[in-house]
Structure 1
Amino acid sequence: RLSIAELDETSAVVTSSAVSVAESGTIILDGEPNQGRRAISLVPDHHVCIVPISSIVRLLPEAMPRLAITRPQTWISGPSATSDIELERVEGVHGPRTLDVLMVRGL
C-alpha cells in the first residue's frame, strides 16, 4: 500500500473497471483487486483504465445489476470541475487531469 504522499508522487496508474456505460461514457470502479483502492484513481495526475469490452453496457440501468451495492464505487464521467468565488471554471481539481481508456477484448 502506498501512502497518500507516495501516490501524490506517482505520475500515472493503471486500473481495470467493473462496468462501463457506452451512452454516457461512464467508467465504474468498484475496488476489485484489478482496480486497486479508490485513492489510486483519484490522486495521480494520469489514470489509464483498461476496459474489457465484455464489461461495456449500452445504458445505465444495464450496469446496475453488475455492481455490488456493498462495494465502494467510483464513477468517472469526465473531468472534475468547480468554480471559484469569481465563477471561473477550473477542471481537473479532484482526480486525474488525464484519463486514457483502452478497450480490450478477452480480459
Structure 2
Amino acid sequence: MAISRIDLGGAGTPEALVKRILQAEPNLPVPVPIQELCARLGILRIEDLDTDGFEGGLVTDAMRSEGTILAKRGGEPRRRFTILHELGHFLMPHHFPDQPGRFLCKSSDLLRV
C-alpha cells in the first residue's frame, strides 16, 4: 500500500475521503486492511478502549501529525467501523476535538452523518 495523507488533500467530507482513498489505491482489497491503512495515514497505534461510556477515541497532537485510535472490544464489524470513524476525525481538519488533542465518541456519535 502506497497511499499517504498527501493523496487525500482537500477532501472535506467522509465521501470525498473514500473517493480519494480508492483513487490512490484502486486495487484495495476487501475487507480493507485497516491496520495498514491507518499506519500509512499517520496512526501509530490502535488500542483497546475499556469503558462503558464510549465506543472509540482518538488521541493526537494539535497538528494531527500522528495519532492513536482507541476502540472498544466487541464484534469485529462494529470495531472496524469505529476505527475508521476515528480515522475520519484524524483526517478531516475541520473536525474539532471535545478536548485539546482528544476525540471521544459515544454510540450515538457514530450514528450521526
TM-score (norm 2): 0.29
Per chain length, whose mean CA-contact separation is higher, i.e. which structure has more relative contact order (CA < 8 Å, sep 6+)? 1
Higher helix fraction (1 or 2): 2
Higher strand fraction (1 or 2): 1
TM-score (norm 1): 0.30
Tell me which structure has the larger Cα radius of gyration. 1
